[in-house]
Each structure stands twice: as structure tokens, then as C-alpha cells.
Structure 1
Amino acid sequence: MHPLNAQVDALMRAVSAEVVMPMFRSLAADQIEEKAEDDYVTAADKLSEKRLTEGLLAIDPSTRVVGEEAVAADPTVVAGIEKGAVWIVDPIDGTGNYAAGRPPFAIMVALAVEGTIEGGWILDPITGRMVHAALGAGAFVDGERVHARGTGAALPVAAITTRFLPAGMRERIIERLPGRITEAAPPLCAGEQYPRLVLGENDVAMFWRAQPWDHAPGALFLTEAGGRLARFDGSPYRLGEDRTGLLAAASPDLWDRAAAILFG
């Protein structure tokens, strides 16, 4: 586990207990905003990020924090994310679900040093499940080491998010799915999707949006568990790249199989 695991775990659980869960299904209409199409922020997101930011800087004052809502307010905050020691924070992942009063949603934190993700944490506030990974030290669920295992199904079970894809690409991919992929409903929450890949519920997931706060913790968790995350062309996922499109799979073999099906 990461050397800071206990401190980060405790902070995230405190924010969940004191901010996120008390406000779940208790938000007033004026506490929910639409930043862009299908991109929501709530008063709970903002307070969660404030508390997480304060707590993470208290753990290590030499770091800085790149939070989703801070970047929404000032896009320059994300600049240089690949330099120095940086906490990456998604105060509530799956805000659309949270705002609608339904699960899943998650609190997510990653620690990157010089562009390398060294620690990742994903907390499910409803169940209390903590997903954690440390670079070179493995992937863990509630403290128990795990290895990605896939579903074992004849056809890959894939959560394919196509709604944000460019129209031409969307049509080509949808045409390729019948008889080659078993579609699974995307949870609309990366903090739930990555655990599903490791825990044998899904084999493959495809994302178009690739913001660091959505993917940094899950990327480390998946790869430390033995899975693979890469761009559609097979190039590695790196912090600081302003690119779209990610394909994730429970194993390198499943990644190759899915890429051949989806992209030819």
C-alpha cells in the first residue's frame, strides 16, 4: 500500500460521512448546476473538494491540488499537472447520478509525482468500499490485494459509452457490436467502472472524455491489478495530454480483442 494510505483513507471517509452522504438526496434545486451539457456540479461537490483540498495539503504541504471544480473555475489550474507532486481530486465522481439521488457515485483521489501516478483511492460512499492502488505494490479492495480476472464470458462484456463520440465514430462502433460484444450498461461513474473491470463484472470499458480526475485513480488500480488502459491507438495513457478516448480492459489480451472488434 502507499505510505500515505491510512491518512488519505481517513480523510476521504470523513468527507464522505460529513459532507457527501448528509447532502445525498437532500439537495435543493438551487444547489445543482449544469456546467455544460450532461456535466453537473452540486453544492456537495464544491464542499467536498474544499475539505479534501485542505486535508491533502495538511498531509503534505509541499504538494499542490488539481481538483475538478477548481479547474472548472480556472482552467489554468490543470497546467503542469505532470510536474512536481500533485494530488488529483474528483470530489464526487458520477455527479449526474448523485444529483438525481441514485448510485453509483464515488470520491476519488490520486497522487502523481512528475507525471507518474503513484497512489490512487476510490471510495464508494454508500457501501464504504475503498479501492486503493500503489505503484509497484498492487491493487487492493478494503485492504485485500486483488487481481483482475475478467468475466470468463464467451463474448467480452463491455460497457461502451458512445454518447460523447464524434458521430461518424459512434456509428462505426455501434455497427461492430452485434454478435461480437455483450453490452453492459455503463454506470456513468468511472469510480464504479474501474472496479467492475477488476472484480469480474465487466471485461472492457470505453471512454471518450479523459479528464485526469476521472481516470488517474482507476488507471493505477486497473494496471496494478493486471489490466490495461490505453488510448484507442494503443498508446499509453499519460497525465498532461489533452486527448480524448480511452479503452480499458481486465487483461492485455482482452484489450487487444476489444480493440480489434471496436476499431478494426
Structure 2
Amino acid sequence: MNAPIQAVAALMREVAEKTILPRYQSLAASEIVEKAHDDVVTIADRESEVMLAEGLARILPEAAIVGEEAAHADGAVMDLRGADLCWIVDPLDGTNNFARGKPPFGMIIALAAGGETQAGWLWDPLNERLCHAEIGKGAFIDGTRITARPTGEDRPVAAISTVFLNEEQRREVQRNVAPHFRLVDIPRCAAEQYPRLALGVNDVSVFNRTLAWDHAAGVLWLNEAGGRAARLDGSPYRPDQDGTGLLAAASPALWDRLAACIP
């Protein structure tokens, strides 16, 4: 299929300029709501999702829409992930950072067909960087095709999210991964983490939570760039399937090296 690459990119830019950037570092306390432990939503998330949904419906009226905030309000929305055609929308990724008035944050959109991601967009409003990919056609940054590259460090750099791990899982990371990789902090923003894996900043990442709006676009983009992102057992990531655990790396060899450390 020919994904509407430019139309979606233009929509993301427009929505960011109208709903996200004007509220950056200017949110009132009443405009930030805790929806779960260590997980907040802002007025910018909600307004962005409404505008994105309206715009995407104009671009492909036949496609279902699964938005993060809509799914939080109504769990039945998740059933649409396996539709013949489906938009998957994170209207403001990195909300915790945004609510604190600091980067990174971004917007993520994926287009799936029958539960398989066909195209993905990751938009960084502050730096005006667009990462996009279409299945089988490569990965691009601002229109230039890119190939993922490792950091080249002797000890590969591992950005591992421990936010949603229990204490035993954190100890396993220290015991099994730390001896072989240099551990660094994560940005708490998938729209930033996936580019870091392709641009020589990080070599590998481990994600515990694998929600479709966080990962569908980034997994496709990294794989199209020549890196590898897959479930812990090596099976493909599908946005229509639930589960935990996802490994991502700048190259298949680095993915294998990390997988060997995960019990």
C-alpha cells in the first residue's frame, strides 16, 4: 500500500503547533492529571488526540483509530488494533517530561493493516525532526534515507527502562546485562529512544511495557533502518497483540548479544 506519508507529517506538524508547543512550559497545575502511578496526562495530550483523530479520519476515512487516551477511557478501543486498517496514535509521547517542562517529547502515529504495521511516523516538535518508514521501503529522517549505526564503543551502550520493573527484575538487569553493556538513562520517550538506536547514541534497549502507540511505529522504523526490534523470543512485534518484553538494537548482531544476556 502507499501510505499517505506527507499528509500525516503535515497533520502532525499542524497539531503540534496548535496544541502542544503553545503549552510547553506553560501548563497550569489543573491541566496535569495523574492517570496512574508515575503516569500523567495533560490537556495537550487530549486536545492533540482529538485533532489528530479528526485529521486522520479525513486522510483515510475507512481506517479505525486507536488513540492512547481513547483507549484509556474505554478499553474496548484496543480491540480495533487488528482491524483491516487502523491508525494507532500517541498524541504526546513523553508526557511526564512535557509536564515537567523539559524535553524530550514527541508524537507517534502508526498505520496497521490486519495487525501488521505498514507505516510509522515519529515527530519531534522542538527539533522539527521527522522519522518515518513504510514497510519494505526503508527508514527516513527528514526525507533522507538512513541506515542504523552502532555507537562503536567497546562496551555497547544499553538504555534500559526500569521504571516498570520490580526489584527482582532490576537486580536481574544488573546481574546479567550490566557486565556486558554500559547502562545509561532512558529518555522516557519512545519517539526519542528509537532514533537514538539508529543514530549511534545507544546500541540496545529493553522495553518492559510494549503498548502499541509507543512501539508500533518505532519498531517498523528501526527494522527498516537495518536494526532489529523483536519480542524476547525473537518473534515479530505486532501492535494487535498484548504482552511484555521487547528488545531493540542498532544491528541484528547487537540484538543477539543482548538476547543472550536475558534469562
TM-score (norm 1): 0.97
**Secondary structure, counterpart of 1:79 in structure 2:** helix
Give distance in 2, aligned partners of 1:89 and 1:177: 32
* Bigger shift: residues 226-235 or 6-15: 226-235
Residues 111 and 229 of structure 1: CA distance in aligned 2, closer, same or farther (over 3 Å): same
1:86 aligns to what?
A: 86
1:207 aligns to what?
A: 207
2:190 aligns to what?
A: 190
The letter for the 1-side match of 2:56 is L
Q: Aligned runs of 1:1-264 on 2, under 5 Å? A: 3-261=3-261, 263-264=262-263
Deviation of the 1:2 alpha carbon: 5.0
Contact 2:133–2:139 (Cα < 8 Å) also in 1:
yes
Q: Which runs of 4+ in 1 moved over 3 A?
A: none
For each residue in 1:149-192, what CA deviation from the matched residue of structure 2 results, as whole angstroms up to 9, or x when unmatched? 11111111010112312332221121223431111210000010
The letter for the 2-side match of 1:76 is A
Deviation of the 1:233 alpha carbon: 2.3
The letter for the 2-side match of 1:28 is A
Deviation of the 1:235 alpha carbon: 2.2
Deviation of the 1:125 alpha carbon: 0.7
Deviation of the 1:3 alpha carbon: 3.8
* Bigger shift: residues 142-151 or 75-84: 75-84
* Bigger shift: residues 109-118 or 42-51: 109-118
Give distance in 1, aligned partners of 2:95 and 2:173: 27
The letter for the 1-side match of 2:7 is Q
For each residue in 1:48-73, what CA deviation from the matched residue of structure 2 results, as whole angstroms up to 9, or x when unmatched? 00000000001111111100000011
Contact 2:216–2:238 (Cα < 8 Å) also in 1:
no
**Secondary structure, counterpart of 2:82 in structure 1:** coil
**Secondary structure, counterpart of 1:84 in structure 2:** coil
**Secondary structure, counterpart of 2:41 in structure 1:** strand
**Secondary structure, counterpart of 1:81 in structure 2:** helix
Deviation of the 1:83 alpha carbon: 2.1
Give distance in 1, aligned partners of 2:68 and 2:84: 18
Give distance in 2, aligned partners of 1:140 and 1:2: 15
The letter for the 1-side match of 2:38 is D
Residues 189 and 8 of structure 1: CA distance in aligned 2, closer, same or farther (over 3 Å): same
Equivalenced residue count is: 263
Contact 1:2–1:119 (Cα < 8 Å) also in 2:
no
**Secondary structure, counterpart of 2:81 in structure 1:** coil
For each residue in 1:32-91, what CA deviation from the matched residue of structure 2 results, as whole angstroms up to 9, or x when unmatched? 011001111000000000000000001111111100000011011011312210000000
Identity %: 51
TM-score (norm 2): 0.97
Deviation of the 1:138 alpha carbon: 0.5
* Bigger shift: residues 230-239 or 124-133: 230-239
Contact 1:90–1:214 (Cα < 8 Å) also in 2:
yes
Gap regions ≥5 residues in structure 2: none
**Secondary structure, counterpart of 2:80 in structure 1:** coil
Give distance in 2, aligned partners of 1:180 and 1:47: 43
Contact 2:90–2:108 (Cα < 8 Å) also in 1:
yes
Residues 101 and 2 of structure 1: CA distance in aligned 2, closer, same or farther (over 3 Å): farther
Contact 2:117–2:238 (Cα < 8 Å) also in 1:
no
